[in-house]
Structure 1
Amino acid sequence: MSVVWATRGKTWGFRFLLTGGFADPLAEYESAFAGAGEEPEVCRRTGERVALRFPDPLGRTDRAGRVIPHEFVLSGPSAEGVDSVEDGRRLVWSRPEAADEFERIWEQPNPQ
């Protein structure tokens, strides 16, 4: 099971909150989202991997007023049942390591 999660917070820029165990999650992220475009919502399956992007479910914004995107690369069992943005939002965001963790850190100046 592998989950790569990239997002930004209220005052901090794009970073990986989960690396899926990859030494270089950026390479996995770029490969999964290659050709996915810049749409605010994406669910793109390639083989057993899913690139998933959706706006913050609570409408949180950064200090510039931009809605915060959450971008996930799911593989293995984590990708099972994710066939749409709505599936992904429901299955991924309900996990404590996603919604609860983001609630805890999104306003921190430097999340740990």
Structure 2
Amino acid sequence: MSLIWATRGKSWGFRFLRSGGSADPLIDYEDVFSGLDDQSQAFRRLGDRVALRFTDPEARKDAAGRPIPHEFVLTGETAKGMSSLEKAREKIWPLVADEYAKIWDQPSPPAARD
């Protein structure tokens, strides 16, 4: 599975939790999300990559009361067959939901992993 995952927690700001194997996931993230800054939900296919953004399905909010967004860059086999926001969310969220549930209210996020 190749995905970059960026989100924030209850008390920690925007962080990459998965790097997708990239030495600098910010470059890939900025490229695929360019122009989608003000959209709370997004799905965009850009060649063999997909940008996916949705609010936390459990309706969690950070300490300031803002909804938690989850943002993904999907590539390769992970991006294949993705045709809509709904289908992508249904496939990707179950892969990270338990992991996020364990860390979202921790004082600091774990280091990004591949």
Query: Normalising to structure 2: TM-score of the pair?
Result: 0.93
User: Partner residue of 2:5?
Assistant: 5
Report the Cα distance in structure 2 between the residues aligned to 1:64 and 1:82, rounded to whole angstroms. 33
Report the Cα distance in structure 2 between the residues aligned to 1:69 and 1:81, rounded to whole angstroms. 23
- The unaligned stretches of length 5 or more in structure 1 are none
Matched, 1:41 2:31: no
Question: Would the aligned equivalents of 1:4 and 1:19 in 2 still touch at CA under 8 Å?
Answer: yes
Q: Name the SS of the counterpart of 1:62 in structure 2.
A: coil
Report the Cα distance in structure 2 between the residues aligned to 1:34 and 1:55, rounded to whole angstroms. 18
Q: Deviations over 1:33-91 (max 9, x none)?
A: 01224111100001110000000001000000000000000001111222111111100
Moved over 3 A (4+): none
Aligned amino acid, residue 24 of structure 1 = D
Question: Would the aligned equivalents of 2:3 and 2:20 in 1 still touch at CA under 8 Å?
Answer: yes
Higher RCO (CA-CA < 8 Å; seq separation 6+): 2
Report the Cα distance in structure 2 between the residues aligned to 1:39 and 1:85, rounded to whole angstroms. 13
User: Partner residue of 2:19?
Assistant: 19
Query: Normalising to structure 1: TM-score of the pair?
Result: 0.94
Question: Would the aligned equivalents of 1:7 and 1:16 in 2 still touch at CA under 8 Å?
Answer: yes
User: Partner residue of 1:102?
Assistant: 100
